[in-house]
Amino acid sequence: MSVGALGGLAGAGGRGGARLLRSLPERATEAFLAEREQWALWLPVAVGVGIAFYFGLAAEPAWWVGPAWTAAGIALAVLGGPARLAMFLAAWVIAASGLGFGAAQLRTSLVATPMIGERLGPVDIEGRIVDRETRADGSQRVVLDELRIASLAPSATPRQVRLTLNRKHAEAAAIGARVALRGVLLPASPPLAPGAFDFQRHAFFQGIGAVGFSVAPLRAVPEDEPGWSPAIWLERLREAIGERIRAAIDGPAGPLAAALLIGDRAGIPEPVMAAMRDSGLAHLIAISGLNFALVAGILFFVVRGALALVEPLALSYPIKKWAAVAAFAGAAFYFLVAGPSPPTERSFLMIGIVLLGVLVDRDAISMRLLAWAAAAILLVLPDVLWGASFQMSFAAVMALVAAYEGLHGRFTDWRAERGVVGRAALYVGAVVLTTVIGSAATGIYAAYHFNRFPLYGLAANLIAVPITAHWIMPWGMLAFALMPFGLENWALVPMGWGVGWIIATAEAVASWPGAVALLPAMPMAGLLAATAGLIWLCLWRGRWRLIGIAPILACLVGMALARGPDILVSGDARMMAVRGQDGKLLLSSDGGDRLTTETWMRRAGQKATAPFPASRTGRAARQPMRGEDDRLSCDGQACLYRRDGRTAALVREASALAEECAGADVVISAVPIRRGCAGAALVVDRFALWRGGAHAIWLDRHGTRVEAVAAARGDRPWVARRARRPSAVD
C-alpha cells in the first residue's frame, strides 16, 4: 500500500473521529432525555454533595450560607422554568445541595457540646447513667449526662461523657441512676494518622465531649424526685431483654444472640468477633436492613397467613394491608428495643417506606423509595454520610435493587416454570447472587474503612444467611412474644442452637488459609471515584450506565499503585514508624499506645509488627548490620532513615539535634527545637506535632511531602482545642 493510500485512510479516520466527537454530546443528550424518570433519583446525591462540601471546609461557615445557597437554587429554578430545561435541572441540583449543606449546619448546631481539649483530673464527676455496656472481662463503659464536673464551669461542661469502669468500681452502676465518682477525663482521640477515622468528630455528633476512666468506685447520689424518662425506660427494657437472652443461652452464643436480636454486643468474646469479621458475617450482628427486613417479613407473612385462614376476612377485606400495618408495628417495637442509632434509624425508615408502598399499592422495593429514604436520612442525620454503616448498607441495597429490577421478570418466569426442587435451586442461586452483588458493592467501602476484605464471605453467607432468616429470627420473634409470660426459654434455647451453628461456620471459614485480604489505606479520591461510578451504574437504566465501570476500575488501579507514607509520627511524639525495604512498617517501641499501633498496622495492610533495629554506639551505629533493613540504623540518641537519596533523622534526645540538623534532609524530633534547624529542608519537632497532630511524610528524589492531621481537620466545632503549649519535658 502506498504512502498516499495510508494518508488517505488516516485522513478518513481522522474525519470519522471528529464526527464521532461532535456526535457524543448529542448522544449523551438523547440518553439523558430518554431517562427522565430517573432524574429524581439524583436529588439525594445532590444533598450528599452539599453535606460533603460542608464537612470538607477548613472553617465553620456563617449560619446563613446553607439557607442562601438553597434559596439561590430555588430562585434560579423559578426564573428558568421548565421551558429552559438545562437551567431548571441545574437549579434544582443547586437547591438540593444547598439543602444538604444547611442540614449539616443545623445538625452541628443542635448537637454542639463543649469538647475537653486536655487531660483533666483526677476530678470529681457527678451525673446520670444513660447508657451502660458490660464487657467480657467484667468492666463497664457508661455514658453520663446531666453532668457536674469540679473545676469546670457549666458553659464548659460537656453534655455527656463516656467513662470506663473496672469491675470493682461498677457495682453501683445502673441505668437511670445518679452517681458520683472520681475519675480522669480525656479528649476523644483525633485521627491517629492523616486520613484515619476521626473519633473526636464521631463523639461530638453523639453529644460526647470527653472520655475517661474512674479511679474510685461509684457512689449512688440520692434524688428527691427522680424524673421519668422514656429513653431511660427503653434502655432499662433493652438491658433486661439482653440479660434474659444471655441467661437462657449458654456460652458465647448468648451474647451473640443478644447482638442479633437487639444489637447488644456486651460480652461477645473477642475471638468470636474476630471470626465473624474474618468470615464476612459481621453484618449479621449489626442491627441493619437485614434484621428489620426479617422482623417485618416474618410478621407480615404470619399475620397475612393467619388472616387468610378466615375466609370472610380474606374475601372482603384488604388483609395484605392489615398485615403491613402489623409488620410496621412490630418493626417500630423492634426499633425502640434496639435503641436509636444511625444504623437502626436508617433501617427502620427504609422498612417503613417499603411497608408504606404496600399500603398505597406501590412496588414494595424500588429505587425511588430507596432514594426517598436516603434523602430523609441525610437531611435528618447528615453526619452519617461519612460512616461505614451508611455507605455500605446503601451501596448494597442500591446495587441489589438495580440488579433485581433488571432480573425481576426473568426470576418470575423461572420460578413459575419450576417445581419444588427447581425453586429450591432458584432460592440458593438468589442467595449466591445477592451475596456476590452485596459483597461487590460494599467491597470498596470495607477496604476504605477497615482495610480488609473477607475472601470466603460468599461461602460463609451461603450457610449463615438461610440459618439466620429461617431459624434464628423466627425463634427470636417467638421469644419476644413469650417474654411477657416468662416463657421465652422455649424459643431462646432452639434459637441458641442456630447461633451456635453461625459461630461454628464463622470459625471454620475464618480458619481457612488466606481468609482475609489485608489492604493498604485507600485515598479519599479513590473512594469518591468508586462511589460516583457505582451510583452512575445503578441509577441509570440505559447502556450508558456502563460508563460507571470506568471510575470503579480507576479506583482499583489507584489502590494498587497508591504508595503509603514512608514515615509516620504520632501526635504525642511517642511513636514513629518507617517503611522498610520490603514495604512493611517498622515501629519504634517508645511507649506508643495499642490503638495507634493497631491503626497504623491496619492502614498499612499488615498484621505483624516489626521493631526498629537495636540501638548501637560508635561509628558502626550509622551503618546497618547484616540482616537488618538497610534503610534504617539507630544509636541511643537518633535513627537515620534513607530512601531515594534522601535522609531523615528521627531524633530522641536534644543532644543529637546539632549533628542531625547539619546532615539530614528531614529532621523529626520528639523534643522541641528551640534554636532552629537550618540545614534540613523539613523540620517536624514536638511543637509541630502538638499543633498539627500525627504527621505522615513521603520521601523521593524530587523532594518531600508532608501531611498533618490538623491541616485536614481545620477549625471546626468538633476539634478539641488545647489550652496550653507543651513544655520541654512533655
Tell me the pLDDT tens digit for each residue of 420-439.
666 667 777 777 888 888 88
Give the pLDDT confidence score for residue 12 in this predicted structure.
46
Greatest CA separation found in the chain? 104
Mean pLDDT of 696-701: 90
Grid cell in block for residue 406? 433488571
Grid cell in block for residue 73? 437554587
**Would you tell me how many other CB atoms lie within 10 Å of the CB of residue 16?**
10
178 beta partners: 128
- 605 vs 564: CA distance, rounded Å: 10
Give the pLDDT confidence score for residue 4 in this predicted structure.
43
Give the pLDDT confidence score for residue 263 in this predicted structure.
79
Percent of the chain scoring above 70 in pLDDT: 87
Helices marked H in 279-387 — which ranges?
Answer: 289-308, 311-316, 319-338, 342-359, 367-380
- 662 vs 670: CA distance, rounded Å: 17
Is the backbone peptide bond immediately before 122 cis, with ω within 30 degrees of 0? yes
Give the pLDDT confidence score for residue 413 in this predicted structure.
58
Which of 14-18, 415-419, 525-529 shows the highest mean pLDDT? 525-529
pLDDT band at 654 (very low <50, low <70, confident <90, very high): confident
700 beta partners: 703
Judge whether residue 50 has pLDDT over 90.
Answer: yes
Number of Cα atoms under 13 Å in the Cβ half of residue 708: 15
Judge whether residue 103 has pLDDT over 90.
Answer: yes
- 398 vs 366: CA distance, rounded Å: 9
- 443 vs 556: CA distance, rounded Å: 11
- 541 vs 53: CA distance, rounded Å: 28
DSSP structure class, residue 484: G
Helices marked H in 417-472 — which ranges?
Answer: 420-450, 457-467
CATH topology of domain 120-226: OB fold (Dihydrolipoamide Acetyltransferase, E2P) (2.40.50)
Amino acid at 719: V
Give the pLDDT confidence score for residue 494 in this predicted structure.
94
Give the pLDDT confidence score for residue 319 in this predicted structure.
86
pLDDT digits (tens, 9 = 90+) for 465-508: 889 888 998 898 889 889 989 899 999 999 999 999 999 999 99
Task: State the DSSP H helix or E strand holding residue 567, giving kind and residue range, or none if neither.
Answer: strand 567-569
Judge whether residue 7 has pLDDT over 70.
Answer: no
pLDDT digits (tens, 9 = 90+) for 665-686: 889 988 888 877 877 888 898 8
What distance, in Å, lies between the first and last C-alpha atoms of the chain? Answer: 80
pLDDT band at 728 (very low <50, low <70, confident <90, very high): very low
Q: Residue-wise over 385-417: b if at least 16 C-beta within 10 A, else e?
A: bbbbbbbbbbbbbbbbbbbbeeeeeeeeebeee
Give the rounded distance of the alpha carbon of 109 from its chain centre. 22
Per-domain residue ranges for the chain? 1-34, 37-111, 120-226, 302-384, 524-561, 567-713
Do strands 567-569 and 576-579 pair parallel, antiparallel, or not at all (unpaired)? antiparallel
pLDDT band at 11 (very low <50, low <70, confident <90, very high): very low
pLDDT band at 623 (very low <50, low <70, confident <90, very high): low
Q: What is the overall mean pLDDT for the chain?
A: 83
Give the pLDDT confidence score for residue 659 in this predicted structure.
84
Give the pLDDT confidence score for residue 591 in this predicted structure.
55
Judge whether residue 533 has pLDDT over 90.
Answer: yes
**Residue 144 vs residue 27, higher pLDDT:** 144
Amino acid at 144: L
Cβ neighbours of residue 194 closer than 8 Å, sequence gap 6 or more? 565, 694, 695, 696, 707, 708, 709, 712
Q: What is the DSSP string of 666-694?
A: EEEESS---S--TT-SEEE-HHHHHHH-S
- The structure's pTM equals 0.86
Judge whether residue 647 has pLDDT over 50.
Answer: yes
Grid cell in block for residue 84? 429552559
143 beta partners: 131, 162
Which of 225-239, 292-306, 697-711 shows the highest mean pLDDT? 697-711
pLDDT digits (tens, 9 = 90+) for 165-183: 887 776 666 788 888 989 9
**Residue 144 vs residue 630, higher pLDDT:** 144
Mean pLDDT of 362-381: 82
